[in-house]
Amino acid sequence: MIRAVVDHFYARARRDDVIGPVFNRIIPDPEWPAHLAKIADFWSSMLLGTGRYDGRPMPKHMAIPDLSDAHFIRWLRLFRETVEQICPPDIAALFVERSERIGNSFRMNIYMRRGEDITQLAPLPREAPSVWKPE
């Protein structure tokens, strides 16, 4: 189920007008299969404690100079919609909870690294769902 979520989400994310350009600029087409496998390992480790993921995602995200709240909000919305379409409700809720926690953590660290004041930083709002139907 994790691999299905990853494959469906990233197929959709790469076509999205907000986050697609970021992904498509940073990850060349030939590198996508390896990236998807690594992300599936990440979620396997996050949700199942498998330890399959061996990496440091924070530095890679911190190296993207133009990440904004709009990117995080859209990523989280598309991810939430994907897991709600593919997974049973209890598993979708687990994915959503973890993704929101990770997204807010990444955002806070990126803001800190940029020297921005995070003392008044509120959690990311949920973007309204789209009218997406699975392919």
Write the pLDDT tens digit of every residue in 52-67. 998 898 888 888 888 8
Q: Is residue 115's pLDDT more than 60? A: yes
Q: Is residue 78's pLDDT more than 60? A: yes
Q: Is residue 132's pLDDT more than 50? A: no
| pLDDT, averaged across the chain | 90
More confident site: 118 or 9 = 9
Residue spans of the domains in the chain: they are 2-113
Write the pLDDT tens digit of every residue in 13-48. 999 999 999 999 999 999 999 999 999 999 999 999
Question: Whole-angstrom Cα distance, residue 15 to residue 17?
Answer: 6
What integer is the mean pLDDT of 116-120?
Answer: 86
Q: What is the pLDDT of residue 96?
A: 96
Q: What is the pTM of this model?
A: 0.88
More confident site: 12 or 117 = 12
Class at the top of the CATH hierarchy for domain 2-113: mainly alpha
Give one DSSP letter per residue of 50-113, joined into a string: -------HHHHHHT-TT--HHHHHHHHHHHHHHHHHHS-HHHHHHHHHHHHHHHHHHHHHHHHH
